[in-house]
Amino acid sequence: MVPDKSELTPEQQDMLRELVNIGIGNATTSLSRMLSNEKVTMEVPEVEVIPLQEVNEYVEQEKAIAAVFFEAYSDEFSLVLMFVVPVDSALTLANKVLQAESSSLGEMERSALMEVGNIVTSSYLNALSDMTGITFQPSTPSLAVDMAAAIFGTVMVTTGLVDDHLILCQTALETEKDNISGNIFVFPYQGLGYMFELMGVS
């Protein structure tokens, strides 16, 4: 079991940084294409391993959030990936994709946001696949707009996690006109220790 960031080995920390860097590279390229080649930069100033019970401390509790998430399966390892942004940031992203100025998350805006979230989370899944040699079968992405506690509560109940820690990537996404903050959460079903073993470190 991996208790927290401070107790990760140097090899584990390096592996997390590599995973994030590959994921960022994949995501920015795809998002730029989606936004008609608008320049997109993406940074992850902080990558942490956090206790599951503290996950709600990393998202706004007083406002609704938007979360795009999906499960990814393989014979060796399965996980849940989530891209979480405040609703105002979600609307900004959707409007940029649609090149519109909507003031609410209607059906078209939700579809656009789901596509953005799918690109971001899939980029990390592809990076993990490259680093482990494992082929994952992703589920259909889902979008939830609700209070943070309700969304995370549902995920925790349905995942059957055996570890009590997860990976948090705090994300800063910048386009030519907008700055958007969000988080990417990685919930490994079989635990972070096993995930690191598959990545070649322990």
Give the residue-averaged pLDDT of 155-159. 73
**Whole-model pTM?**
0.87
Q: What is the mean pLDDT of the chain?
A: 86
> Which of 135, 133, 193, 190 minimizes the C-alpha distance to 159?
190
CA distance 108 to 87: 15
Inter-residue contact 169 to 183 (CB < 8 Å):
yes
* Domain CATH number, residue 40: 3.40.1550.10
**Count: domains in the chain:** 1
Residue 10 is assigned to a structural domain of this protein:
yes
Range of 43's domain? 5-85+119-198
Residue 162 is assigned to a structural domain of this protein:
yes
Kindly report, residue by residue over 28-71, the tens digit of the pLDDT. Answer: 988 888 888 888 888 887 888 888 778 877 777 667 889 999 99
Confidence category of residue 1, pLDDT binned at 50, 70, 90: very low
Q: What token pair was written down for 56?
A: 């709600």
Residue 9 is assigned to a structural domain of this protein:
yes
